[in-house]
Structure 1
Amino acid sequence: MKVLLTGSTGYIGRRLKQKLLEDKNIELKLLVRNKNSVRSNLQNKIEIIEGDTFNKDSLKEALKDVETAYYLIHSLSNENYKDLDKISAQNFLDVACECGVKRIIYLGGLGVKNKNTSEHLLSRIETGEILSSNKNVQTIWLRAGVIIGSGSASFEIIRNLTEKLPVMTTPKWVTTKAQPIAVNDVLSYLYNALYLEKKENLIVDIGSEQLSYKDMMLKTAKVLGLKRWIIPLPFMSINLSSYWLNLFTPVPFSIAKALIEGLKSEVVIQNQNAKKYFPNIVPISYEDAVKNAIKEIEENQVISRWNDKGDEVWDKIENKEISKAIFIDRKEENISDIDASKIYKSFISIGGANGWFDFDFLWELRGIIDKLIGGVGLKRGRRSQCDLRISDCLDFWKVVDLKENERLLLYAQMKIPGEAWLEFKIKDNKLIQSAYFYPKGVLGRLYWYALIPLHYFVFNNMIKSIIKKAKSF
């Protein structure tokens, strides 16, 4: 069976890709914006089409000879995501019909259309309606609420708030009802939908027990062995709540606001189709889902995170803006007496809980400032403390290139007046560490000059510390 997976670099897509690859009856195709976002060891094993759902030519190539296609696409990172989602879904449906695709499997969100429905949830509903609008292609529309798993945005918010705040003053939305579900259960439904012997369109609502967000935080505290008090306040606005999440969790303000707006209305199961069509899948309890997520984090087994995707970053790299850098801070050190693999292991361990060597307090300060102005800050950390891959987030950086025993290139995602990159490169028995900056206007230039004294200490220490750490391996 030829299967197309879209969104394969996203939170659910990465995990589903792994599951589909284990099925020897499936010939898997991927549609991605940039081939480099797929691990090199997979690039020769599966068919990868570069393109997106706004390019019908690449869509036709991707959907050619495909029986079933997974639609796991969302444009939340764009301001006009509602319009983009409609265009994307319609293009996908039109080309799927043209190519003779038999089934589309779509993962949307729980909820109903009413005056309280958030724009984010409304967009997910409208996407499902578009994908289900042509009788020539069957659509299985799975609808999930809060997804609990290591690296999911919802879980990272709940876990961070619970761990950091013994007493929480919250808006009234904490009493809103939802039906959370473990990420592995979501994957089971998505995978089993592939083999479902039904011909008509289906809407399948999935979830475990019905809980309020307050219940979820208290149950998370119980699993973590913590005692927490939650005090709902009726006057906390959406903006204030979003800033609160932005400050205490890894989620940036824009995503926090979209999620908070969605919490105004209940997201509970509206039909019993999950039990009817998937009787063998019994979702685990919320507490068990939290335990599994914590275990994955503790064992460095996090497969994907909510912030894995970053199409705008690939565009910048493809446009080769790094070559336009006006300011460059470059350091070089001889490493002829050290194995290149040890140097590589040293510099890919940077960031997250491992820190940034001797000037961590300066990085922490920069992270706090970034959070206060609506940036991502340092709270994202890293997916794994011992492994890196292209598209991983690394504090307020994004991994955009990674060549074993040769190179690590990071793109800055903090709020800055310009574009910045940080590169570690092994070449001709030398470790070359380069900071690139492409300023925007006068402010960008003033920003760079103001940081020159700090760069002198931080970057000089960084390259020496990388070599020192490599020698200890």
Structure 2
Amino acid sequence: MPTTATRRILITGATGYIGRRLKDRLLQRADLQLRLLVRDPNRLRPEVRQRVEVVQGDSFDATALQKALQQVDMAFYLIHSMGSGPDYAARDRRSAEQFRDACIAAGVARLIYLGGLGRMENASEHLRSRLETGAILSARPETLQTLWFRAGVILGAGSASFEIIHHLTQKLPVMLTPRWVTTRTQAIAVEDVLTYLEAAIDLPAAGNWQIDIGSEPTDFRGLMQAAAASLGLKRWLIPVPLLSPKLSSYWLMLFTPVPYSIAAALVEGLKSETLVENDHAKQLFPTIVPRTLPQAFQLALQELESDAVLSRWCDSSAGEVCDLSPPADPKALVYRDCRQFALAGLTPARVFSQLCQLGGAAGWGGYDPLWSLRGMIDKLMGGVGLNRGRRVPAQLRVGDAVDFWKVVDLRPNKRLLLLAQMKLPGKGWLEFVIDDDWLIQTAHFFPKGLGGRLYWYLVMPFHALVFERMGRRLLAQAAKMPAS
């Protein structure tokens, strides 16, 4: 429990892209006691759960909010609902109001919020919602101090913006680009964002502050060129007037890991300038100097190359793209394809280690053209497709994305359960259970209507190929692993 000299900090959104990284950074400080408000505590690493206080719930749960904010000195609000449905803006407003009022009732001294740069009069729907959230959280300065940080494009391994820029730059030597590539912006490295957020805890200033943060001004063409230079590549961007926002969204969806819904929201936002409008960052934090664009890209690439990606854009629990369903009860599902493979002397640890390397660049055990075709079909239907990849090549945690699957249950050396996030006429899971001397591999499917049932029987011949090969290849690869 915290001592009298220790401040208690609440982090919301602690399993999202920024929240995960901020949590890990603040855990290094002995003068802080962290409390996390999360929907699913299983998404936190066991060693993290031992070092923090965890309250299960969300910002719409009044009881959970009251419990989470009790005796809290400062709270980080890192929540947004983009991707949760067409009413996400209304949900954002309601969430912000309830959280602000709960902070006031609990006597919280300071609320720290990270939103986006931009102006309300020409902002996209997504950005307008972030601006409204900041205004709502800041609306009671007489009873609650709010530090409202505003950032534009955040560059870091795993961020949606970085992954889009990185994939396009890698794959396309020549790009036909829409007019919005000339929109002015000020990007910032994710590490600099975290530095500002941490520094806000110790800031002696009183009153509400809107703090705009970013590196040097550029446009999105400049971001692409900086990314190409960091990769040692030369790229040509040719603006054309024919690419509408909808066509641009499909273009991003096909060549990058993001699904159509995320791509459309980002493209809409790229039409508005996102520039720093005040010097409060320099005034309040004179020792923090944001990295240049080349430095930001190099840092992100180093994180990728060292397999040290702490979080990704799809870690968030908002919306079906990143949604986590509870672990499934296979007995409740209608259709199953179950295959058993003898371990033949292999230890459960070896087999489980190989399971945790599925997907991404390693593939799914063979028949790669069939997997690629399924991924392309999913992309064309507005799904996430295969090229979302993995956070790191050889480790998994609950909540990780693996191509068009999501890890929903992971029990070391015993069970791995993946939720299908491709477009389906129903819900699907892929389960691996290590039981005694057997690997039991089961595809579960809960169909929706007649179309779901027809779908299952149509794909059964392909299952016979890919799932049988997958299980055998897993054990063959495990047998080749060096003895530990």
1:67 to 59, 64, 73: 73
The one-letter code of the counterpart of 1:271 is N
The partner residue of 1:444 within 452, 465, 482 is 452
Q: Which residue of 1 aligns with 2:416?
A: 408
Q: 2:15 matched to 1:15?
A: no
Q: Deviations over 1:142-179 (max 9, x none)?
A: 00000001011001111111111111111100000000
Q: How does 1:3-402 map to 2 (within 5 A)?
A: 3-79=9-85, 80-114=87-121, 116-134=122-140, 135-310=142-317, 317-318=325-326, 320=328, 322-335=330-343, 337-402=345-410
- The alignment partner of 1:60 has SS state of helix
Count of matched residue pairs: 472
Distance apart, 1:316 and its partner CA: 6.7
The letter of the residue matching 1:419 is K
Give 5+ residue unaligned stretches, structure 2.
1-6
State whether structure 2 residue 436 is matched by structure 1 residue 433.
Answer: no
Distance in 2 separating the partners of 1:93 and 1:188: 24
Cα-Cα RMSD: 1.3
Distance (Å, rounded) in 2 between the aligned partners of 1:287 and 1:198: 32
Q: 1:284 to 1:194 in 2, by over 3 A?
A: same
Q: 1:319 to 1:433 in 2, by over 3 A?
A: closer
So what's the TM-score if we normalise by structure 2? 0.96
Between the aligned partners of 2:315 and 2:325, the Cα distance in structure 1 is: 16
Q: Structure 1: how far apart are the matches of 2:214 and 2:298?
A: 17
For the Cα contact (< 8 Å) 2:82–2:318, is it kept in 1? no
Q: Is the 8 A contact 1:51 1:58 kept in 2?
A: yes
Cα deviation for residue 336 of structure 1 reads 5.3
Q: Is the 8 A contact 1:33 1:311 kept in 2?
A: no
1:421 to 429, 433, 440: 429
Q: Is the 8 A contact 1:7 1:13 kept in 2?
A: yes
CA distance in 2, matches of 1:41, 1:460: 36
CA contact (8 A) 2:154 2:189 kept: yes
Deviation at 1:105, TM superposition (A): 0.3
1:470 equivalent in alignment to 2:478: yes
**Unaligned regions of 5+ residues in structure 1, if any?**
none
Find the aligned partners of 2:54 and 2:333 in 1 and give their Cα distance. Answer: 31
Q: CA deviation at 1:295?
A: 1.1
SS of alignment partner, residue 318 of structure 1: coil
CA shift for structure 1 position 312: 6.0
Alpha-carbon distance in structure 2 between the residues aligned to 1:250 and 1:296: 18
Identical aligned pairs, as a percentage?
Answer: 50
> Deviation at 1:26?
0.5
State the secondary structure of the residue aligned to 2:233: coil
1:384 Cα offset (Å): 0.3
Deviations 1:191-248 (A, max 9, x none): 0001100120000000000001001101111111111111111232111111110111
Structure 1 residue identity aligned to 2:241: P
Q: Distance in 2 between matches of 1:429 and 1:18?
A: 38
Distance 2:256 2:81 in 1: 22
Cα separation, 1, equivalents of 2:181 and 2:319: 33
CA distance in 2, matches of 1:152, 1:184: 12
Q: Which amino acid aligns with 1:347?
A: L
1:458 counterpart = 2:466: yes
With over 3 angstroms needed to count, the CA separation of the structure-2 counterparts of 1:112 and 1:312, relative to structure 1, is closer
SS of equivalent residue, structure 1 residue 16 = helix
Report the secondary structure of 1:357's partner residue: coil
d(CA) in 2 for partners of 1:323, 1:390:
22
Answer whether contact 1:59 1:92 (CA < 8 A) is retained: yes
- TM-score of the aligned structures, taking structure 1 as reference length: 0.98
